[in-house]
Structure formats: C-alpha cells, structure tokens
Amino acid sequence: MTAPAILWFRQDLRLADNPALEAARQRPVLPVFVLDDAAAGDLAYGGAARWWLHHSLEALGRDLGARGAPLLLLRGDAVALLADLAERIGAGEVHAGWLAEPWARAQEAALAARLSAGGSRLVLHTSTHLVHPDAIRAGSGRPYAVYAPFARKLLAMGEPPPPLAAPARLEGVSPPSPGLPLAALALLPRPPVPDWAAAFGSAWKPGEAGARERLMRFARSGLADYPLRRNDPSVEGSSGLSPHLRWGEVSPRQVWQASREGGAEEALPFLREILWREFSHHLLWHRPEMPHAALRAPFARFPFEPDRRLLRAWQRGRTGYPIVDAGMRQLWQIGWMHNRVRMIAASLLVKHLLQPWQDGFAWFMDTLVDADPANNGASWQWIAGSGTDAAPYFRVFNPVTQGEKFDRDGAYVRRWVPELAAMPARFIHRPWDAPADIRAGAGLAEGTYPRPVVEHAAGRARALAALRATARGV
C-alpha cells in the first residue's frame, strides 16, 4: 500500500499551479493548515490579514472538499502537530511551499529534523515565487542587493514554465481525529471589538476563484492602460492582486502567463512590479533582519523622535495632509492603500514626523490585507533610505504637490475624507489656504479637519538635519 502524504498549506492557498499539491497527490493526501501564532512571534498575521485568511481558508476548504480531500484545520505548534500527524497516518512525506520569512524557515528546519527522526521527510517546493533565492547570484557571486540587475537577470532567464492545472479529483485520507471548525481559529473581529472589517467584503473576494476573476479582469481591461493609470489613486488603475498574491491564491507564474497573453512588451511595466515582489522576498531571504533593523548600518543610528501623538494622528488619518489622510482612511476601511499613496504616507511618517519606520511597518502589518513582511519591510526601508536599494533619504516628498500631481481634481481625497468633499479642487490638497468664505461654502467648520501636524518646510528641514546628524557614509 502506498504511504499517504501530507499537504501542508501555508501561504499558497490554491489548487491550480501548486507544485506541493502536484507532488503530494501522487499518493493519498491529507491537506492541512496549521495556525501557529507563537512560531511567527511579532510577525504573526495581523488583524486585516486574519480576516482575509478566514475567507481564503473557507474557499480552499470548499474546493478541496469538492475534490474528495477535505482540509484539516489545526491550531498550535505546527512542528509538533505535523510530526504527530505524519506518525499517526504513516505519512512518508510532508509537502509544502518554502517561505522567505525567518520564522517560517526556522519552522521548516525544525519540522524536517522531527520528520526525519520519525522516518519521513519534508519536501519543499517553489510555490509562491518565480525562483528560489539561492538559485541566482549576482556576478560577484553574492546575492543581489539592487533591484535593476536582479530584474534584468530574471527577465533574461526567459518565460517561467507554464502553470499546472488544478486536479479534478484527489484521493483523500481521513484524519486520525477531527480538526477544528474554521470559527475556532477566531480569525474574524469578535464582540466586544467592533467589526472594523465590515466594508472589506465589498472590496474583496478572497479565495482562488476571486483571484482568478481579478487576474482575468485586469489582463483583459487593465493591463494596457497600467502605465498610464497605475499612479492615479482615484481609479482602479493597478491590478489589486496583492492580497491574492500574498496568500498564494494565484501564483506569480499564473500572473505572468495571463499578462503575457496580450503581448510581451505591453506586459513589461506590470511584470516589473511582480519582480519587485520577487526581489523583496529575495532580500528577506538573504537579510532576515529586514523587518526589524536598518539594512544600511549608519541608519541604525538615525535620530527618530518617537511620539505617540504624532503616530496616532497618522494612523487615524488626521495629519492635516489630505492625500495622506485619504490613504490612511482607505487603509482602515478596506485593508488596502494605493501604492503611490503608501509612498507619500510612509514618507510623511519617517521624514516630516520623524517616527521610526518600524512603527509604520507594524501598523501596515496589522491593517493591510496584503501585509507581507518582505514587501512591507523592503518598501519601508526603501522610503526610509535604509534599504540596500533605497530612495535617497534627502528626497522628501511634498505631500501637497504630490497630491496635486497624482490626484489632480481631488477625487481620491473627496472619496475617503468626506469632510473635504465639497472643497474646490484648487484647495483640496491645501485646505488651510482656502479663504474663510470658501471653507464655509464647502461646509468645513473650524476644527472639523486638522491643520497639518507639521508644516512641510519645517518638517523637511528637520528631516534633513536628522540625516546630517546620522553619520558619514549615508
């Protein structure tokens, strides 16, 4: 009799183009998901991510059940639970996708050791990436630290192999004891906590089917205009695939293939963003300290001035800079923020407000449905100037002119900052400059919307002084 296999779902919650599933299903298979918060430590899934995870597991469970191999849900120490499960069902192999997060790599090493002591083995697959970070090196023989040559290298490798189809049937194995019902994972906000995720469902459809729909819609009607529309936060100009990619409901290979169908050249600007994701994961693999510590040493001494009041104003969307506040409120309402606005909001926090980038990173980890330690960590360090391939720190975004450039008529601000809905376009990004009669005409009573917490020129000067104080070598 063939020994069964365990299919350990982690951040690859899909059936199509899933190499771990493809390998595991050569035998009778027991699909498992384990929620192990303790292993992840301070990188445990945040609130918005948990909302997504709940719905994604629901969809995955339905899809697996329909194919004959229901999903077993467990909670606790993944290493102990999986090793025990392997022993009890006599599994010869546990198949899973590798992850770049340091905590997940520690988990893989511990599980591999436990399984091999028991006579079985852990087999890891490249499931949510295009290449394994150890499979490519820069000319120097060292890992890539700069995006452009990394992207050139990946593009020169040619097309990734075509995606695998989802299996029509699976031969399931009964678990030795029943797992938990999904509700027992307690992933959704529960009373007495207010349902802060109430509006998420109107913006998103978690799960593989939702990912496929979004990918097809984007490939059909968004891709061609992507270069023109991606920087306009008031329209749906980017793919909106980030949470689906984050949870592996769609693979980068599937995204690659679907976007190339309309023509290789046309797809390139978009695929370059997919390569930023790949690069960020590559960096996290080689620099596991990335979510916590500056990658460029002098920045470890950067004189941030932690101030709970300023951090809170930023988190709540009450900085007085309309484009930033719109972004922070969009984030709170639907668990996602437009990329351009993420950059402006992040820059304001670390530069004008001199708050540690780690505080912004942590807030995003808790509030983004696509919260990803690799993309989030690399992006914050890019903004803060401390990344290996970062924006120069002295380039300080002006939140007013950025708003005027990318949200020219103020449609984005009007949508997310209702206090400013009736403000004329001329003043929408600088409402404090509007004469009293215009403010009154727009229904903006004194105290309704704050003045900037830090004035731009003063904030910029302070940020540059902090940079000068940091060190030579920056």
Give contact residues for ligand FAD (rule: CB under 6 A). 230, 238-242, 245-246, 273-274, 276-277, 280, 339, 342-343, 346, 364, 368, 370-372, 375-376, 379-380, 383
* CB nearer to ligand FAD: pick between 379 and 402: 379
* CB nearer to ligand FAD: pick between 24 and 346: 346
Give me the least distance between CB of 273 and ligand FAD, in Å please.
4
Give me the least distance between CB of 169 and ligand FAD, in Å please.
31
* CB nearer to ligand FAD: pick between 163 and 179: 163
- CA 78 from chain centre, in angstroms, equals 23
The Cα-based distances of 278 to 44, 111, 155, 251 in angstroms read 21, 25, 12, 12
* CB nearer to ligand FAD: pick between 265 and 446: 265
Give me the least distance between CB of 201 and ligand FAD, in Å please.
18
CA 292/CA 203 separation, integer angstroms: 31
The Cα-based distances of 426 to 3, 93, 235, 327, 400 in angstroms read 70, 64, 20, 20, 11
* CB nearer to ligand FAD: pick between 18 and 120: 18
Give me the least distance between CB of 278 and ligand FAD, in Å please.
8
Give me the least distance between CB of 279 and ligand FAD, in Å please.
7
* Residue whose structure tokens are 């800079």: 321
* CB nearer to ligand FAD: pick between 107 and 375: 375
Give me the least distance between CB of 375 and ligand FAD, in Å please.
4
253: CB partners within 8 A, 6+ apart: 17, 130, 160, 161, 162, 163
Give me the least distance between CB of 380 and ligand FAD, in Å please.
5
Give me the least distance between CB of 377 and ligand FAD, in Å please.
8
φ, ψ of residue 64 to 5 degrees: the values are -70, -45
Give me the least distance between CB of 1 and ligand FAD, in Å please.
42
* CB nearer to ligand FAD: pick between 171 and 232: 232
Give the N- to C-terminal CA distance of the chain in Å, as an integer: 63
* CB nearer to ligand FAD: pick between 4 and 240: 240
Q: In what order do the strands lie in the sheet with 121-125?
A: 72-75, 29-35, 5-9, 93-97, 121-125
CA 342/CA 371 separation, integer angstroms: 13
* CB nearer to ligand FAD: pick between 78 and 130: 130
